[in-house]
Amino acid sequence: MGAGLDNQKKYFEPSLSHAYFALINEILTGHMNDDKVLLKKWEWLNLRHFPQVVMTAGFIYNQTRDFDVTKHLKMKIILSDLRQIVKYWQGAVVITWYYERMVFLLPLNNLEDVDFKQELLLVAQKVISVLEKDFELQASIGIGNIYNQPSLLYRSFEEACQAQKSYLLTDNPIIFYSDLATYHENETVYPFSEESELLVQIKKGNMNAALKALDKVNQVFQSKNPQDLKDVYLAFYLELLITISRALIFQGADPVLVSERKLQLMTMLGKLDGPQDFIKWSCNMLTLFMGMVNKDEYSGLSECVRNAVIFLQSNFRQAVTLREVAAAVHVNPSYLSRTFKKELGINFSTYLTKLRMENAKSVLENSQENIKSISFESGFKNPSYFHTVFKKNTGISPTKFRNIMGEK
């Protein structure tokens, strides 16, 4: 850290350049895999040494019962202090509150790995000191691995995020991803592997598989944490909200809509109580967020109807009601009923029956599962009612439908 700033390129002010944010987004999402192009773009923006490791900083929410979202906004007060820290670190660049985290991109500065780790600790300690100066909340820092290949830096970002959320595993607020192996053998609090599968399914856009993965996340977390640990539950599900919302923005969801929905979900989260409330909240959250990605399929629908359709497509097997769906998409039931009929041309109950029928016909055609099981799995109250509805809609019985489809 010996060279003075006078000999460096001018410190870059992130807030002044759209090109800067576009480049950072390419780096942190891994969408740019050409190292030469990345380095060239970095030079065009008059930035200094290309970063080789990512550090993320945020707050540990379970240190207080004050679940106040406005604390995020106070970051502007201490932003200048944080900039001074990174300006001293040759080539460092700070991103202010990038998807719920402060993100620092740091260069190796020709240091050996051991010395570099010590320098990172010093930077992290200074950042924590600044973050905690004006806040009651405790700060946490996550640090990813070092990558010499620019196009792989996104891995360091994901690792830093995962390390930061691991404060639930240790009392240390500064956590290196490379040190997590000892905790992964006994995932006492955070289900890392289950969350990874969830993110994979989100990336694929597979709603049903994502919901199954989320169910596994809920099962593992709640089985390892007593339900009376309200603060731990709040911290975990807030982290899950942040992780999923960030993943969906990367997949193409509108950042503004995601932010608006996220604030509503955070408010709801603070009011939850028992384990089942958290499970239902998380399923609704995932369903609504994933619905924001499929813009083309639902481009002609209003937001509330689009979200209602996505919700029904994932929950038609349950005894879902118009009131429950309206609550999930945050509108009045009467308004949803009118808008639903206006935009889709059919009423709520007809659309729900249509989804159940399509599922039943698909299972009948592609499996030998018994009719009784199919009726329940498709969301019908009982086999007799299923038979009546099926014949009314198709003109034939479920058994005859299966026989006809089997002959093709």
pLDDT for 294 beyond 70:
no
Q: What is the pLDDT of residues 189-204, one digit of tens each?
A: 567 678 878 887 887 7
Averaged pLDDT, 177-186: 65
pLDDT single digits (tens) 67-93: 344 454 555 566 667 767 776 666 666
SS3 103: strand
Q: What's the pLDDT band for 134 if we cut at 50, 70, 90?
A: low
Residue 382, pLDDT > 80, answer yes
Q: Taking residues 344-360, report their average pLDDT.
A: 89
What is Dmax (Cα atoms) for the chain? 83
> Alpha-carbon dihedral of residues 288, 292, 297, 303, nearest 10 degrees?
70
pLDDT digits (tens, 9 = 90+) for 313-322: 777 888 889 9
Q: Over 50: is that where the pLDDT of 62 sits?
A: no
Name which residue leads in pLDDT, 47 or 232.
Answer: 232
58 CB contacts (<8 Å, ≥6 apart)? 100, 101, 102, 139, 140, 164
Q: 185 pLDDT exceeds 70?
A: no
pLDDT the model gives residue 272: 86
What is the pLDDT, as a whole number, of residue 322?
A: 92
Q: Is 1's pLDDT higher than 50?
A: no
Whether pLDDT at 11 is above 60? no
| 332, pLDDT greater than 70 | yes
| The pLDDT of residue 3 | 36
Q: Tokens in use for 377?
A: 């799995």
Section 44-55 average pLDDT: 79
Joined tokens for residue 293: 């990605």
pLDDT digits (tens, 9 = 90+) for 257-266: 777 777 778 8
Per-residue DSSP letters for 241-275? HHHHHHHHHHTT--HHHHHHHHHHHHHHHTT--SH
